[in-house]
Structure 1
Amino acid sequence: MRQFTAVVNPTAGGSTGAAALLALARRLREAGAELHTEYSRSLAHAQELARDAGRRGRVVLAVGGDGIAGGIGGALSGTGATLGLVPAGRGNDFARALELPTEPAALARILLEGEPRHVDTIEVESAVHDRTVVLGSVYAGVDALANRHANRSRLLRGAASYYAGGLRAAATWRPARYRVTIDGEEHAHTGYTVVVANSGYYGSGRVIAPDARVDDGLLDVVMIEDAPRRLFFALMNDLRTGAHVHRPQVRMERGREIRVVADRDVPYGADGEVDALLPVTLRVLPGALRVLC
């Protein structure tokens, strides 16, 4: 029987993290599993707790949203430890890519009986910040600015906070001039954003990279070019289904190592948490993480 350590972000989605774990914990314990719960004080503290539990052979449960999932998943990447996700945050995009249920009984069955799947992770290297590893995507441009606004929102939660943040960011954004180098080949790009995706989803269910797979050893690169604001908002609406990829203003590429630079200070984010400025270099780490799904 598996032994679990749950690392809870007590602020994810309001109080839903603890509530989601409470409903799940009863089912795990009734099945005979051992469950120990730790509450994190910060993302760094959550990563420390996760590494310690992983070293002791326990399955680490990341309870919260994409921030704690990416932070803990990144900390366990390459260690051989096993991660389980308990979606309880605002976006839950990596859990969505793995098609994980949120219903406690169904999720408990996966955690108790599911076989670990090897998935890719993303190494993030910046001259300013220490090397980090994340799970879902790295995005540089208007979406990073929107995510910053969403994270600071006190009135809105979930998809509504992303939508409001996106409106605010787009209203003031002016196109940036990027140089995107993909496996040694340079691409000039002027526009709204560059997204490097391991998972197909970001921004609370938006289908940014419909063909992305978490275990194909590749990163999907999405470049949204300059367009009139009216057309940009129509394109953003297309993200609900992934139809934006058919528009001429959207360019899709794939690669294993991507470097993104810009002509000014452009923010980038990763899994909803990293808040920094370009340039940044990203590398896929194939099959580096074991996840129950």
Structure 2
Amino acid sequence: MLIVNSASRRGRETFDQARDRLVELGVSLTAAHAVDDPSTLPQLVQETIDAGARTIVLGGGDGTVSSVAPQLCNTQVALGLLPTGTANDLARTLGLPTDLMKACETVAGGKAVDVDLGVVGDDRFLNVSSLGLAVGVTEMLNPKLKKRLGALAYPIAAVKAYRRFVPFSARLEFPDGDHPDVELDDLLQLAVANGRFYGGGAVVSPDAGIDDHLLDVYAIPRGTPRQRWQVARHFVSGAFTENDHVYHVTTQNVRVSTNPGEAVNVDGELSARTPVDFGIVQGGLRVIVQADATVGV
């Protein structure tokens, strides 16, 4: 089954191209859908799974995949991803080509592997759930800006969000006892990450992976101007997590509380609020990657 979010940045203009190319490559499609209303995607994917589909080829961005992650979780239905969104961080994490024709070739000739899914409350996420500045960035982004500038929309929105941002405090509790509970004050951002990339190509941390069965948790305090510069200059590489003033641990379960409650950016959507529990589903999502890829278990 081919399902394309035609509301995503390149969705509508690529639907026909993707369908025709997949057929040329010998992929047998039982049906193909261009979906204008993204809110209907979870139901459509669930109906497709119930009908016995073994593979769903999904065209869209990170938000598209994240929206149907609960339906795909632990089903063994393989996801073939055609990255047609703005950031396409999941594609980066999986080493998938963002060129549409090459992505179709990966679907036709790649291999299926299992990767982890993050848990946020009763929902699932692929890349990162974050509080603080990332929420402000999401609020500053709009479809017109993303369509016009693509991934460049993120740093522009970040500058705008920073100018009006108010630091916050958080409490982290670790039910497995692998880390002591901690109170963190004067924070710019707190993130719980399942994947490796987010925000249009920034790395979570140097060792983060979507197949390591761990969540990366980091918190960035406002700190001094020098400390903020140290974080900013290493933010894209993820090396900022090695700075002494940045809190960074890996775990499988963490509870995040704030007072008052804070909105949580879940893969680019403001769909949760603190207090909230985070966890991980090991190998919860089956995806098609390139035949020589090393990601996945």
Q: If the length of structure 1 is used for normalisation, what is the TM-score?
A: 0.88
Aligned residue for 1:128?
A: none
Count the aligned residue pairs. 282
Aligned residue for 1:25?
A: 19
Aligned residue for 1:79?
A: 75
User: 1:118/1:90 Cα in 2 relative to 1: closer, same or farther (>3 Å)?
Assistant: same
- Write the letter of the residue equivalent to 2:56: V
Cα distance between partner residues in 2 of 1:108 and 1:243: 33
- Write the letter of the residue equivalent to 1:18: R
Q: Deviation string for 1:172-229 (max 9, x for gaps)? A: 2222111012334312212111111111111111112331111121111111122246
| 1:40-79 aligned within 5 A | 40-55=35-50, 56-79=52-75
* 2:94 is the counterpart of 1:98: yes
| 1:171-250 aligned within 5 A | 171-182=163-174, 183-184=176-177, 185-190=180-185, 191-228=187-224, 231-232=227-228, 235-250=231-246
Aligned residue for 1:158?
A: 150
Between 31-40 and 161-170, the greater mean CA deviation after superposition = 31-40
Q: Percent identity?
A: 27
* 2:128 is the counterpart of 1:137: yes
Aligned residue for 1:146?
A: 137
Cα distance between partner residues in 2 of 1:118 and 1:71: 18
Mark the runs of 5 or more structure 1 residues left unpaired by the alignment. 126-130
Cα distance between partner residues in 2 of 1:199 and 1:134: 9
Cα distance between partner residues in 1 of 2:2 and 2:230: 41
User: 1:193/1:153 Cα in 2 relative to 1: closer, same or farther (>3 Å)?
Assistant: farther
Cα distance between partner residues in 2 of 1:87 and 1:233: 33
User: 1:41/1:24 Cα in 2 relative to 1: closer, same or farther (>3 Å)?
Assistant: closer
- Write the letter of the residue equivalent to 1:20: T
Contact 1:137 1:196 in 2 (8 A): yes
**Over 4 Å off, 4+ runs:** 152-156
Per the TM alignment, residue 120 of structure 1 is displaced from its structure 2 partner at its CA by 0.7
Contact 1:65 1:91 in 2 (8 A): yes
Per the TM alignment, residue 158 of structure 1 is displaced from its structure 2 partner at its CA by 2.2
Contact 1:179 1:189 in 2 (8 A): yes
Q: If the length of structure 2 is used for normalisation, what is the TM-score?
A: 0.87
Name which of 119, 125, 129 aligns with 1:123: 119
Secondary structure class of the residue paired with 1:224: strand
Per the TM alignment, residue 241 of structure 1 is displaced from its structure 2 partner at its CA by 1.9
Contact 1:91 1:158 in 2 (8 A): yes
Cα distance between partner residues in 2 of 1:120 and 1:45: 24
Secondary structure class of the residue paired with 1:34: coil
- Write the letter of the residue equivalent to 1:65: G
Mark the runs of 5 or more structure 2 residues left unpaired by the alignment. 290-297
- Write the letter of the residue equivalent to 1:158: G
Q: Deviation string for 1:8-47 (max 9, x for gaps)? A: 222211xx11333433332211122223322334444101
Aligned residue for 2:108?
A: 112
